[in-house]
Chain A
Amino acid sequence: MIVEIGHYALTLALALALAQAIVPLWGAAKRDEGLIGVAQSTALGQFAAIALSFGALVEAHLVSDFSVLNVAENSHTAVPMVYKITGVWGNHEGSMLLWVLILAFFGALVAAFGRGLPPVLRGNVLAVQGMISSAFLAFILMTSNPFARLDPAPFEGRDLNPILQDPGLAIHPPLLYLGYVGFSIVFSFAAAALIEGRVDAAWARFVRPFALVAWCFLTLGIAMGSYWAYYTLGWGGFWFWDPVENASLMPWLAGTAFVHSIAVMEKREALKVWTIFLAILAFSFSLLGTFLVRSGVLTSVHAFASDPRRGVFILLILAAFIGGALALFAWRAPALKQGGLFAPISREGALVLNNLFLTTSCAAVMIGTLYPLALEQITGEKITVGAPFFNMTCGILMIALCLIVPIGQSLAWKRGDLLGVAQRLAVAAAAGLSVAIALLAATTGGPVLAPIGAGLATYVILGASSEIAARLWRGRASLQVAFSRALGLPLSVWGSAIAHVGVGVTLLGLAMTGLGAETIASMKIGEPRTVGPYEVTIEAIEPRTGPNYRDVVAKAAIRNGGALVATVESSKRFFPARQMSTTEAGIVTLNLGQVYISIGDQTGGAIAARLYWKPLVSLIWIGACIMAFGGALSLADRRLRIGAPVRAKAALAAQPAGTP
């Protein structure tokens, strides 16, 4: 019964989404506030209906109702409770339901808190959001119904894919979807601006919080996915330039460009058309990612069962929305009032440069990802584009970008003083150079790229902090004055500085992996092996039984010069329900670096093991968290918030949009 209610609620949501797509659009064209008002109730109703539907599916998984095909194929009575819940989105149908749930959630946010928005804009935004919802709800109902019944019901389910029985499944997909789908609102705002033919600094102010929320979540989602792959795949890699990873990186690059260009639009009323274009681009890449991952054109752990009908359906949605938006852009963008131009040496100029680097590297990733697919369609030849391509294109462009990040941050709006900036950044640049030289000297004969990367990272971190330092200690202020200035500094200034420090921290982590050590060996119990500065000894190998698996656990001790620093367990896990095993790497974080142990098969008295020492590797993910924290701080900036209508209006009046 609950399952049927879920199915019914989903159908109801489609009806509401269709109404939301049509009525407010009509109302906005007729300037009829009553018709526009329909958008709010339908958006909230749609969210409630999808939430109910999602709840019904969670309930079916919780009680292991194997008469539901989705539950029977992806669950098992022996699976721990947490994986019964996360298993809801550990499959194609459920993950699409989570996708539309988050889509409707963002629509509901606009409906609930968008009272400060001009009614026509609000109506159009929600109408476009309704169109996206309708398309994906129709997709779920027609090709991927999670509530399909199975008759007769089996006694036992087929179990959740063991690779997905991991806490990562509870965190990674929801975070990633909040990011991916969050850009839908930005897209809807862009489409609404084009429909209305009007875009100004106030528009930028409305969109910015949504873009930042999506960007923060996407950053965290990608970082979490990378860490999950790192600890679960068992060979210490954290980024593979796999098409599925690229699918999440492309919207991130476009979205990062967007959150920078919207700052220019908000402060200087420039780059309007470009910003609108980026808004369309960011969500188009999210859609492309959904297509690549969900259609079955790629083989990966993310592509669940593939059904050709689904691929064609998503491709149609993709073509309709990207094509439609770009056509709208081509038709309406010339009608938008052009923004002002600015001097090349200025913060705006630097942000344009930032946008160019980000979008070209996004294009490079797109070429590397889509070229093999296109070639196979055209010639039948199967190829893969390997990591060297991406390192060479995206890597070099990102390094160039890192060089200009601190410079851009230190330049003033309108007209910058390059000489002054150079003086201010001299300390950071000198520190970066000395780190690079010192590391090069210490690791003679080692990789050259790692010390250079570390030097660049130092420069980025210090350069990003120097802007704050310069503001606080301007005119050799005392500590007390500096402290009060720190409190008075707008949160968005702190936010951008901290996010840029995060970029440097991640870069440092990436660079230092080049100085790591790796040992692949057949290890006997009690026999120490050296990896980096540590000696690893496997002390015992013992079997263990989990709730729905059997483990072979290797207990290892990590010593540094004879002194015990840590013990760690690494295991090989066998899941009888699917006759499948997984590797659970043992990881110990020591001084921000990690000792990583993963075990293979036992032969005689020895066990095949891989040992890695990865100095400062944790900084890769810590840096991503710092970036997201910086984004969240900017989001909390009162000046930029659109809260209750009265306060928003007061804030707008106090801070005219053109003020630098």
Chain B
Amino acid sequence: MTRKGRRLTLIGVALCIVAFAAGLALYALRDSIVFFYGPSELAQKDVQAGARLRIGGLVKAGSLVKSDSEKISFVITDNVRDVAVTYQGPVPDLFREGQGVVAEGVLEAPGKFRADTILAKHDERYMPREVVDALKKQGRWQESGGGS
């Protein structure tokens, strides 16, 4: 093979792989993006039922109900609007009432959310950043509220 031919083969193969990867990335991005909303934002945005979302806010005090086999229901609030959440499965160690939480799952009906993943804070001092931002938007965030 000539020098030119070798170089062309190399460039050709490289372009094929890059194009293949770019195609894969674009295709995969369509299906695996999950939007994050606070309860108020969720109410404003006209989100289709069945959409996969992340909802963040505080676990409303007194809303946590546990039933058998790790089934729980609770309310995520930003102190303006509420979203009712149901969930089955393990909850993180720092999940409790009055604390920040992010739930990922499917919106079943307006204001009703079925979570399949629950994320809480890693450390009692810090709030999930999304939750802080969502609360700030509603003017409900006090700096002292982040401390324990």
Would you call B33 an interface residue if the criterion is a C-beta within 8 Å of the partner chain's C-beta atoms? yes
Least distance between B95 CB and chain A CB atoms (Å): 11
Per-position 1/0 for A491-508, Cβ under 8 A of B = 000000000000000000
Taking a contact as CB atoms closer than 8 A, the residue among A385, A522, A603 that contacts B32 in the complex is A385
Please, what's the 1-or-0 string for B93-131, where 1 marks a CB less than 8 Å from any CB in chain A?
110000000001000000000000000001111101110
By the criterion CB–CB under 8 Å, are B25 and A393 in contact? Answer: yes
Output the least CB separation between B15 and chain A (Å).
10
**B124, A342: Cβ atoms closer than 8 Å:** no
A547 within 8 A of B: no
A583 surroundings in chain B (CB, below 8 A):
93
- Interface residue? B68 (CB, 8 A): yes
| Distance between Cα atoms of A368 and B34 in the complex (Å) | 12
Contact of A392 among B7, B18, B24, B130 (CB under 8 A): B24
B148 contacts chain A at the CB level, 8 A cutoff: yes
- Given known contacts A353-B13, A600-B70, A381 and B35 CB-to-CB distance under 8 angstroms: yes
**Is B25 in contact with A367, judged by CB distance below 8 angstroms?**
yes
Interface contact B123-A301, CB-CB below 8 Å? yes
What interface size band does chain B fall in?
A: 35 or more
Pick the contact of A522: B36, B68, B89, B129 (CB < 8 A): B68
B21 touches A363 (CB 8 A): yes
> What residues of chain B lie closer than 8 Å to A543, measured between beta carbons?
none
Closest chain A CB from B53 CB (angstroms) = 10
Q: Which residues of A contact B93 (CB under 8 A)?
A: 234, 572, 580-583
Instruction: Report yes or no: B90 in contact with A364, Cβ–Cβ below 8 A.
Output: no
Let me know if A341 and B6 touch, CB within 8 A: yes
> What is the distance, in angstroms, from A604's C-beta to the closest C-beta of chain B?
10
Distance of B58 from chain A, by nearest CB (Å)? 15
* In the complex, A397 has a CB within 8 A of chain B: yes
User: B28 at the A/B interface (Cβ < 8 Å)?
Assistant: yes
B29 contacts A386, C-beta separation under 8 Å = no
Which chain B residues numbered 21 to 72 have a C-beta less than 8 Å away from chain A? Answer: 21, 24-25, 27-29, 31-37, 54, 66, 68-70
The listed residue with most A CB atoms (<10 A of its CB), out of B91, B93, B122, is B93
Looking at chain B's contact residues, is the secondary structure mostly helix, strand, loop, or mixed? mixed
A residues in contact with B124, CB < 8 Å:
578-580
Q: Name B10's contact: one of A352, A367, A371 (CB within 8 Å).
A: A352
Please report the C-alpha to C-alpha distance between residue A654 and residue B48 in the assembled complex, in whole angstroms.
72
Main secondary structure of the interface of A (DSSP, over half): mixed
With contacts A343-B1, A384-B36 known, is A393 near B28, CB below 8 A?
A: yes
Q: Closest approach, in angstroms, between the C-beta of A492 and any C-beta of chain B?
A: 26
A655 at the interface (CB under 8 A from B): no
With known contacts A397-B21, A522-B69, A299–B34 Cβ distance under 8 A:
no
- Whole-angstrom distance between the alpha carbons of A623 and B148 in the complex? 42
Question: Is A92 at the interface (CB under 8 A from chain B)?
Answer: no
Is B9 among interface residues, defined by CB-CB distance under 8 A?
Answer: yes
Q: What separation, in Å, do the CA atoms of A96 and B129 have in the docked complex?
A: 22
Contact with B along A512-523 (1 / 0, CB 8 A): 000000001110
Instruction: Pick the residue among A161, A298, A364, A384 that contacts B54 (CB under 8 A).
Output: A384
CB nearest neighbor in B for A578: B124
Residues of chain B with a CB closer than 8 A to A396's CB: 24
Q: Are A392 and B17 in contact (CB under 8 A)?
A: no
Q: Which one of B21, B69, B70, B90 lies within 8 Å of A360 (CB-CB)?
A: B21
Q: Report B76 CB to chain A, min CB distance, Å.
A: 15
- Which residues of chain A are near B31, meaning CB under 8 Å? 388-389
Complex interface bits, A372-387 against B, C-beta within 8 A gives 1, otherwise 0: 0000000001111111
CB distance from A362 to the nearest CB of B (A): 10
Known A367-B25, A383-B33; contact A299-B130, beta-carbon cutoff 8 A: yes
Determine the chain B residues whose CB is within 8 A of the CB of A364 once the complex forms: 21, 24-25
Interface residue A86 (Cβ < 8 Å from any Cβ of B): no
Contact: B32 with A386, CB < 8 Å?
yes
The verdict on A343 contacting B35 (CB below 8 Å), with A356-B13, A520-B70, A579-B148 known, is: no
A603-B66 in contact (CB<8A): yes
Nearest residue (CB) in A for B133 is: A382
Residue numbers of A with Cβ under 8 A of B are 161, 163, 234-235, 296, 298-301, 305-306, 341-344, 349, 352-353, 356-357, 360-361, 363-364, 367-368, 371, 381-389, 392-393, 396-397, 520-522, 572, 578-583, 598, 600-601, 603, 608, 610
Residues in chain B within 8 A of chain A (CB atoms): 1, 3, 6-7, 9-10, 13-14, 17-18, 21, 24-25, 27-29, 31-37, 54, 66, 68-70, 88-91, 93-94, 104, 122-126, 128-130, 133, 148
User: Can you list 15 residue pairs at the A/B interface with Cβ under 8 Å?
Assistant: A161-B123, A299-B130, A341-B6, A341-B10, A344-B1, A356-B13, A356-B14, A361-B21, A363-B21, A368-B25, A371-B29, A382-B35, A389-B28, A389-B33, A580-B124
